[in-house]
Amino acid sequence: MISITNLQKSFGKLTVLDDLNFNLNKGGIYAILGPNGSGKTTFLKVLLGMVIPEKGTVLFDNEDISKSTSYRQKLGYLPQIARFPDNITVNEIINMIIDIRQQPAEPKPLISLFGLESFLDKKLGNLSGGTRQKVNIVLTFMFETTVLILDEPTAGLDPVSLIKLKELIAKAKAQGKIILITSHIMSLVEELADEIIFLLEGNIHFKGSLGELKEQTKGKDLEHAIASLLQS
Amino acid sequence: MIKILKYSFSDLMRSKWSYIYLAFYLVLGFVLLFLNNDISKAIITLMNLVVVLTPLIGTIFGIMYFYNSREFTELLLAQPVSRSKIFLGQYLGIALSLSLSLVLGLGVPFLIYGLFQSTEIFNFMMLLVSGAFLTFIFVALSVLIGLYNSNKIKGFGYAILMWLFLAVIYDGALLIAMVIFRDYPLDNLALVTSFFNPIDLSRIMILLKLDISALLGYTGALFQKFFGTNTGYVVSMLILLLWVVGPVVIMLQKSKSKDF
C-alpha cells in the first residue's frame, strides 16, 4: 500500500533521511520511534507531501504522491500541535474540512464521544489546548481513510480522553487500517504497537515486532530495549 | 481555491483588526471631508495617506497572517488540495478583506457626503483602485517574504524594511542620485525607476487622473510628457498589474518546493 524507495532528504548540510527503503502492506499499528532529530516527523511529512524529498519515490496504492493530491483522501493526519484560525468556531472548522475534502464524514459520534457538543459554537481561539486537540482528533477520525498518521497524538489530553483515543485507534486497527504513530510515551507504544520501526541517523535501524525487539536486545521492557539499541 | 478563500476571508472578516482598520478609514474619511469641506481636496489629502498606509497595512497583515496560520496551513496541506490552491486562496482572502475595509471605510463617508452628485466620482474610484492594487501587491510581497524566511523575526524585519524602502528610502535615494548626476540626461532613467516602485506608480496614476500638474513631481511630469495623460494612466495600471502577477507567480512557484 505504501512503498518507499531510496528516499533522501536533507536540510542544508544535515541529512535527515538517508536512502530509506520501506514497504507497508498489512493493516496494523506501526510505531515510529527514534531519538530526537532522527527524522520521524520528516518521514511522516514526506508521506503527507508536506516535505519534498530530494531523491526517491513514494508510492501510495501504486500512485506516485509527488504527482497527486487525491491520495490524501485515503489519509488522515493528526498533527502534533493543534492550532486553527482563531475566529472560526468548532462547527465551522469541521464543516470546512468536510467541504474541502469532498468526502463523506461522520463527525457526530466523535463529537459526543469527546463531549464537544457544548463547544461547537465557540471560537477555536478561546479553547484550551486539550480541547483543541480533541477537535483535531475529530477532524482526523471522521473520514473513511485507509491510513492514519498520528504525530504525538496524546499531547495535552486528559486520561479519560486518552482512553477514548486508544479505543478509536483500536477500532481503526480492527477495520484493517494502517496506523502510523510516533510517541515519546513508551507505555503507550508498548500497549498499542504491532510493529516497531526504529529510525536512527536517517535510516531504519530496526523493524519488527515488540517481541523481536526485546529478544534481539535482551531488554526487559521497551525503554531498555530502545536504550540498548541506541548503545549498540 | 474558492473554498480556502472563503474561509480565510471569513476568518479575517471576524478579526478585530479588520474592524479597527475599517474604523480608521471611516474616521479618516469623515474628518477629512468635513474639515476640507471639499471632495477634491479631501481626495488629494487621502491619496497621500493611502499610498503609504495601504502598503504598510498590507505588509503587516500579510506577514502576520502568514506566520500565524502556519499550523493551519499544515493542516490544509494534509488535505487533498494542491498547494497552489491553498496559497492562492489564503492570499486572496487577506488581500480581499483588506481591500474591502478600504473601500467601505472610505466609500461610506464619501457617499454620505454626496459623492454621486459630484464630478469627482471617477477620481475617487481611482483612489480606491490604486489603494486596492497596493494592498494586493504588498500582501503578495510579504507572503513571498514569509515563504522564503522560516524565522518569524527575520521575515517580519525584511517585510518592514521592504515597505520602508519603497515608501520612503526609494524616493530619497532617487533624489540624491538625480542631484549627483544632474549633468547627465536622466529623463528616461527617472521614468523607468518609477516602474520599479508601485507606490510611486500609484501616486502618479492618481495624479494623472486628478490632472494636477503642480503635484505631479518630476517622474509624474515625465510620465505625462512621455505617455500623455490617458496612455500614461493605462501604462501605469498595466505595470501595477504586473506588480501583482509577478510576486503571486513567484509565490506559487516557491510554495511548490517548500518544506513544511
The alpha-carbon gap from A188 to the nearest alpha carbon of chain B, in Å, equals 25
Q: In what order do the strands lie in the sheet with A55-60?
A: A14-24, A2-11, A55-60, A63-64
Q: What is the mean pLDDT of chain A?
A: 88
Q: For residue B72, give the nearest of A49, A70, A83 by CB distance.
A: A83
Instruction: Say yes or no to pLDDT of B213 above 70.
Output: no
- Distance CA(A229)–CA(A214), nearest Å, equals 10
Q: How far apart are the first and last CA of chain A?
A: 32
Render pLDDT for A80-124 as a digit per residue (tens, 0 to 9).
Answer: 877 788 888 899 999 989 998 888 999 999 999 999 999 999 998
CATH number, domain at A8?
Answer: 3.40.50.300
CA atoms within 13 A on the CB side of B116: 3
B1 → chain A, closest CA residue: A100
Mean pLDDT of A131-148: 92
Cell of B12: 479575517
Structural domain harbouring A45:
2-231
List Cβ neighbours of A197 (8 Å cut-off, separation of 6 or more).
A22, A30, A31, A32, A33, A204, A206, A207
Domain count along chain B: 1
pLDDT grade, residue B214 (50/70/90)? Answer: low
Substitution target from A96, A126, A133, A145 for chain B, most B beta carbons within 10 A: A96
Range of the structural domain that residue B115 is part of: 2-257
Q: What is the pLDDT of residues B67-116, one digit of tens each?
A: 988 878 888 898 999 999 999 999 999 999 999 999 999 999 888 887 77
- When divided into structural domains, chain A yields a total of 1
Q: Phi and psi dihedrals of A19, rounded to 5? A: 50, 60
Convert the pLDDT of each residue in B110-164 to its tens digit: 888 877 777 788 888 889 999 999 999 999 999 999 999 989 999 999 999 999 9
- So what's the ipTM on this one? 0.84
Other beta carbons within 10 angstroms of residue A124's beta carbon come to 22
Q: Does B257 touch chain A (CB under 8 A)?
A: yes
What does the pLDDT read at residue B70?
A: 85
Q: Is B69 on the interface with A (CB under 8 A)?
A: yes
Give the DSSP letter of residue A105: B
B215: pLDDT strictly greater than 80: no
Which of B17, B19, B77 best tests the A interface by mutation, with the highest count of A CBs <10 A? Answer: B77
pLDDT in tens, B173-190: 888 888 888 888 877 788
Q: A213: number of CA atoms within 13 Å, CB side?
A: 27
